[in-house]
Amino acid sequence: MLERIKPGPSERKRLQEVSVALISRIESMAEGCGLELKAMLVGSAARGTWLAGDHDLDVFLGVGVEDDLEKALELARRISPDHREKYAEHPYIQARIDGFEVDLVPCYLVDDASHLRSAVDRTPFHNRYVKLRIAGLEDEVLLLKQFMKGSGVYGSELRVGGFSGYLAELLVLCYGSFAAVIEAASLWKPGLKLDLEGRGRVEQADPLVVVDPVDPGRNVAAALTLNRMLQFALAARTFMARPDIEFFFANPPAPLSDREIEALMEERGTLPLLIEFAAPDVVEDVLYPQLRKAESAVKALLERKGFSILRSDVISYGNRAALLLEMEVWRLSPACRREGPPVWQADHISRFLAAHPKILSGPYIKDGRMVVEEERRYAQAADLLAAELASLSLGRHISASIRSGYKIYAGVELLAIKDDGYRIFLVEYFQARCIRPDAA
Amino acid sequence: MLERIKPGPSERKRLQEVSVALISRIESMAEGCGLELKAMLVGSAARGTWLAGDHDLDVFLGVGVEDDLEKALELARRISPDHREKYAEHPYIQARIDGFEVDLVPCYLVDDASHLRSAVDRTPFHNRYVKLRIAGLEDEVLLLKQFMKGSGVYGSELRVGGFSGYLAELLVLCYGSFAAVIEAASLWKPGLKLDLEGRGRVEQADPLVVVDPVDPGRNVAAALTLNRMLQFALAARTFMARPDIEFFFANPPAPLSDREIEALMEERGTLPLLIEFAAPDVVEDVLYPQLRKAESAVKALLERKGFSILRSDVISYGNRAALLLEMEVWRLSPACRREGPPVWQADHISRFLAAHPKILSGPYIKDGRMVVEEERRYAQAADLLAAELASLSLGRHISASIRSGYKIYAGVELLAIKDDGYRIFLVEYFQARCIRPDAA
């Protein structure tokens, strides 16, 4: 396995050359404009824990005073014409340099991790902590990261909610080897706390707490969701029972033909509803929480009105985004019940009856309240969505996007969208497997 | 109004003659066989508070010792060949005598209401209490009873859950007149307590508590449901706003034609399901609680499986009985979700997966639990009922009846039953009005 994921000598050499050249170039540019700045290679490239073929470099531009942060950003912009402005907690520059994707991130240089001014300032401390301890365990980290990729749990971005590279490194430091991590993880339950330095200060409610050795108040696994944690535990358990190299490869499914998807839909007999709109121009870590919020709001609306949902998901593909709601009940009887005030509240009763002039049945008394039956406003889930979607609280960017236009696809209409990423999402949605097919 | 409901001189005379003759005949029969027995006319006939045309007599056969109860019952059997054995708390005889329907009820003669041996022994005390106080107020009682009949709240049998004649009499004694009862009732709220003698001893949770003046631990209104109490309050309020003689007449709806009922069903767009079976051979006060219990059990089954019910009701007609369930959602997607154990319970997970071999989607993890999607056993409410009805706990007599055969009618199939009582029930069900049409 290692042969396939461990960078070879030429890849190592090239990364070494590119990063050294980049760092000295940045520092001389800084000197040229009188900026006091320290460029640092951080992340897996700096620690020898990058996976073969992974051409990402993280270079942090450390400055000492606030005014210099903006100057460092300006300098980063000048390093390559092929760059994009990005924004996580702070602005940074993503550039293509000599075939590498380089994140150039301005940060403060602080003496002590207890004086951090922002999350990015913490990274150099992480780098130092791991570098000092990881020597000899790099291969274990590579195996673990690749296993996590193969199990679909690698990546701490909010879209995934999985394990970061730093978290994988800490797990190897904690347990001692890839095999030991797998063995331990196969028995994991939520509520587990790992504290390498025995300095954890804060009680966290997260399913897994890994105390940050450079900042004991922080949980390195804060972004890990309960389900990803358990997905990893399950993969570890399955792998231990039947070790197989297949566990290290994700093998995304091939897109299915229209006919195959139609057959899947028919078998399920549900009604999938897809609400599709322009993806707001924000990074994934801003987009996905908003998509999840919108998903919750739409589900709550549907359920409040008596519909029911088998499952739902969100996706962004190309410059589009969508909510998928798979309906278990999508049509209700035209007649519905409206409960009014208690019978003894004469004034409220009069107003209630005046507000419901066209009744099918009633008024009658139920549990002490006045009730009428009248025609339901929206007997079809799709009609309800079309009427009320725009007035829901969907998250700032999604709301704006929905207001400028959206489309609802129902049932086989979902096949009108041909995008490959969307089609793979659909297949993965219908399969919904968290255990590898060959291992289940 | 009084002209129509007050018994005329000839009716009074006839009732007087018949009851005097009956009582002396019973007492001489008792003497003839050496039975010490006191025959008493009780109820509205004894108090002058019966409604014109109401040909019911209640005659109680009081004895002093337990052995004589059976002898009194035997004597009652011999009074008329045209009789039926009945059973409430104790056995009694219902006989037709000279055009009157006579209940002949053996009871104990006790000195003091605090020494009652059963509920029927209380009746002579009620009789004495009312007779001593009601003189001059008989017409008020007649008006109130007739108003209650017109509002559909008269009758303390469990099928109705309304007001007994004795309760109506106590209300008139309490408030002083029909008009005063109506005025007070128009403002009634649940939690009201009326205590004529100021001797109430027991805290009751019933919506209306009327302390029994002859037995202060008992609530005369115990059988009155919250909804009937409020239906009466609402009728009183509406009558005060627009007094109209129509309030005193129930005007049951005419049965509708098949076409009219089909139109009603179409407008509602629900699916009515009728479960019809032989009515168990028990009195209404035993039958109706069991029908209500069966109704609850069936509703709970349907709702537990994801279906939803707009409204439901029960009926007995002729020698048949039925549960009516009007479905708001009666078909679900074939695909359904099955939630399994938490992911870390390895043994349970293995058993769960083995128990669900044919999955449509999954297994996946949701809220820490293993989930699969598979084909739903019953996607149609009627199929679920047909499969599981017999195994529900429906009440002893109903369960036995269902086991010996039942039929499910769906939608327009309900029209296959032609019985007039059933057809009126259907119309009343669809109208479901507790306010008079002309008064709403």
Number of H helices, E strands in chain B: 15, 15
Q: How confident is the model at residue B249 (pLDDT cuts 50, 70, 90)?
A: confident
Find which of A265-279, B254-268, B420-434 is predicted with most confidence, using mean pLDDT: A265-279
Q: With contacts defined as CB-CB under 8 Å, which chain B residues touch A334?
A: 267-270
Q: What is the pLDDT of residue B200?
A: 77
Residue B349 has pLDDT above 60, yes or no: yes
User: A440 vs B363: CB contact, 8 Å cut-off?
Assistant: yes
CA angle at residue A183 from A179 to A187, to 5 degrees?
A: 160
The predicted pLDDT at position B73 comes to 93
CB < 8 Å from B in window 260-279 of A: 267-271
Q: Is A435 on the interface with B (CB under 8 A)?
A: yes
| Pair (B325, B342) in one structural domain | no
- A314 and A412 inside one domain: yes
Shared domain for A359 and A303, answered yes or no, is no
pLDDT band at B436 (very low <50, low <70, confident <90, very high): low
Q: What's the gap in Å between the CA of A8 and the closest CA on chain B? A: 37
User: What's residue B440's pLDDT?
Assistant: 42
CATH number at residue A343: 3.30.70
Q: In chain A, which residues have their Cβ closer than 8 Å to the Cβ of B230?
A: 343-344, 365, 368
> Are residues B295 and B423 both part of a single domain?
yes
Nearest to B268 among A344, A360, A367 (CB): A360
Judgement on whether residues A240 and A340 belong to the same structural domain of the protein: no
**What would the mean pLDDT of B431-437 be, rounded to a whole number?**
76
pLDDT at A440: 42
State how far residue A141 is from chain B, nearest Cα, in angstroms.
24
- B38 near B3, Cβ under 8 Å? no
The answer to whether residues A161 and A230 belong to one domain is yes
Q: State whether A280 and A364 are in the same domain.
A: no
Domain boundary among A119, A148, A172: A119
Q: Which residues in B lie closer than 8 A to residue A364 (C-beta atoms)?
A: 432-434
CATH code, domain with A40: 3.30.460.10
Domain count, chain A: 4
Cα(B170)–Cα(A293) distance, rounded to whole angstroms?
60
Of B186, B219, B251, which marks where a domain is finished? B251
The verdict on residue A125 lying in a domain is no
Instruction: Output the pLDDT for position A439.
Output: 46
Report the percent of chain B where pLDDT is more than 90.
80
Whether A44 and A148 share a structural domain: no
Structural domain contains residue A297: yes
Name the CA radius of gyration of chain B, rounded: 27
User: Does B437 reside within a domain?
Assistant: no
Question: Is A414 inside any structural domain?
Answer: yes
Contacts of B337 in chain A (CB under 8 A): 310-311
User: Is residue B304 included in any domain, yes or no?
Assistant: yes
CATH number of the domain encompassing residue A392: 3.30.70.590
- The tens digit of pLDDT for each residue in A354-380 reads 999 999 999 999 999 999 999 999 999
Q: Is B332 on the interface with A (CB under 8 A)?
A: yes
Please count the residues of chain A.
440
Q: Which domain holds residue B403?
A: 258-332+378-431
- Asked if pLDDT for residue B135 goes beyond 70, the answer is yes
CB contacts under 8 A, B 368-427 vs A, are 368, 373, 379
B362 in contact with A, Cβ within 8 Å? yes
pLDDT per residue as tens digits for the range A127-171? 999 999 999 999 999 999 999 999 999 999 999 999 999 999 999
- For residue A60, the distance in angstroms to the closest alpha carbon of chain B comes to 37
The answer on A426 and A306 residing in a single domain is yes
Of A256, A344, A436, which to mutate for an interface test with B (greatest number of B Cβ within 10 Å)?
A: A344
Domain boundary among B251, B285, B312: B251
Q: Do A369 and A385 have their domain in common?
A: no
pLDDT at residue A437, as a whole number? 45
Binning pLDDT at 50, 70 and 90, where does residue A90 land? Answer: confident
Residues B243 and B270 in one domain: no
| B353: contact with A, CB 8 A cutoff | yes
Tell whether A127 is covered by a domain. Answer: no
Let me know if residue B235 belongs to a domain. Answer: yes
Angstrom distance (rounded) from CA A364 to CA B170: 27
Q: Is B438's pLDDT higher than 80? A: no
pTM of the model: 0.86
The yes-or-no verdict on residue B276 having pLDDT over 50 is yes
**E strands within B279-368?**
308-317, 320-329, 335-342, 359-366
B332 neighbourhood in chain A, CB within 8 Å: 328-329
Cβ atoms of residues B306 and B384 within 8 Å: no
The model's pLDDT over B30-78, given as tens digits with 9 standing for 90+, comes to 999 999 999 999 999 999 999 988 888 999 999 988 889 999 999 999 9
A202 and A98 co-located in one domain: no
User: Does residue B125 lie in a domain region?
Assistant: no
CB B272 within 8 A of CB B324: yes
| Cβ neighbours for A234, distance < 8 A, ≥ 6 positions apart | A434, A435, B343, B365
- pLDDT reported for residue B399: 94
CA distance B321 to A174: 71
State the average pLDDT over residues B266-270. Answer: 96
CATH number for the domain that contains residue B168: 1.10.1410.30
